[in-house]
Copies of this chain bind each other. A is one copy, B any other.
Amino acid sequence: MQELNRKQRILKLIVEEFVRTAEPVGSHSLIDKYNLPYSSATIRSEMAELENLGYLEKTHTSSGRVPSPMGYRYYVDSLREKNCIDDDTKEKIQALFSQKDIQINEVIKHGCEIISQMTNLTSVMLGPDSNEECLSKVQLMPLTSTSAVALFVTDRGHVEHKIFSIPDSIAMNDLENCVEILNDRISGTKISQVVDKVNSIKPILADAVKQHEVIFKAFLEAFLKFTAERVSVFGRANILEQPEFTSNLNKLRKLVNLLENQDVWRQFDSNDDICVMIGDENTIAEIDDLSVVSANIHFDKNNNGKIALIGPTRMDYSKVIGALEYLQEAIDEYFKESEDDKDE
C-alpha cells in the first residue's frame, strides 16, 4: 500500500474511530486520541472537504462526522489494513483442522461460528449446493413388514432418505422394483436433472409397478430434499449488542424476519472470493442499511459453500475480511492437501 496523504489518513482514522465507538467523530476528540500534529481547525477544514467530496456525513449541523457509504467503500477498497487477523482467531481456526478427516460441512459450520463470535456479528452459512452432484445410488432397506426406508446417495456423499409406510395396496415388491428401475435408469444423473429424468421414465414405472402414482410422488418428494437450501445462522444474539439495532427496533425486526427466511441468501452470488456489500449495494431491499460480507468456500470445482456476515454498515471491515480470507485460505489448503493425499 502506498503512503497515504493527510486526507486519507484522516478519513481512515474517522472510519476506524466511528466503527469502534459508534459515536460521530469530532475534530477535537480525534486529535486527543491520536495525538495528531494539527490543530482542530485544520482537521475541521479537512473534514469539511471530505464531506464535500462525499466521504463523510453529519448527523446534524453541529455534530461530528460519520462515514458515508461512499466513505466506507473507499475505506474497504483503499484504506483498510490488509491481512488483519488477531492471534486468537487464527488459533481457533487452526484448531478446526487439527482433527483429521473432518467433514467439509462441519468445517464451514464451525468456521462460521468462530468468525461470528470474533466479530460480534451474525453469520449465515450456506451449505454446499447439491445441484451439480450426481445421484449415484438408491438403496432400499426394509424396516418392518410394512415399512421401508429408501436411501439416496450422490457421488459426493450427500445422503437423503425417505420413509415409506406401505399400505396393503403397495407391495414391498413393487417398491423394490421401483428402486431397481431408478438405479438402472437414473444413477449418474445430475441432481438438477433428476426430476426431469424421473418424469421421463414414468411410463416404464407405470408398466412395472401397480401403484406407481403414489410411489412416484413419494420419490419426487425425496429428490426435492436435495435441492433444499441448507442454511444455518449463528450468533443471532450478537446483533443485540450493536447499538444501531437496540436503538432501532424496526431495523432489528427486519433483520430477524430475514434470518427466519432461509431462501434469501443464495443471491449473494458473486465470483469474487470475498464480496463486500455496503448499505444499498446489496440487492435485498429489507437490509439496504446494513452491510454483508460474504466469502465463497470452494472445496471442489462445482461445489461451493458460502459464509456471510451481516451487521450494521458500521462494522469492522478489516477484521471481518481478514478473518474470512484466513478461513477461506485455510480451507483451500486443507482440501488441496487431502487432494494430494488421494493422488499419492
Please tell me the number of chain A residues within 8 Å of chain B, measured between CB atoms. Answer: 44
A126-179 interface with B by 8 A CB criterion: 136-137, 139, 141, 143-144, 146-147, 149, 151, 153, 155-157, 159, 161-165, 167-168
Interface of A is mostly: mixed
Question: Given A141-B136, A236-B256, are A165 and B218 neighbors across the interface (CB < 8 Å)?
Answer: no
> In the complex, what's the smallest C-beta–C-beta distance from A125 to chain B, in angstroms?
14
Stretch at the interface among A50-58, A202-210, A315-323, A336-344: A336-344
* Residues 230-257 of chain A, each 1 if its beta carbon lies under 8 Å from chain B, else 0: 0000111100100000100100110011
CA A65 – CA B17 in complex, angstroms? 48
A241-286 interface with B by 8 A CB criterion: 246, 249, 252-253, 256-257, 259-260
CA A297 – CA B100 in complex, angstroms? 39
CA A57 – CA B144 in complex, angstroms? 58
CA A165 – CA B144 in complex, angstroms? 33
> In the complex, what's the smallest C-beta–C-beta distance from A205 to chain B, in angstroms?
17
> In the complex, what's the smallest C-beta–C-beta distance from A119 to chain B, in angstroms?
16
Question: Given A146-B342, A149-B157, A159-B161, are A259 and B240 neighbors across the interface (CB < 8 Å)?
Answer: no
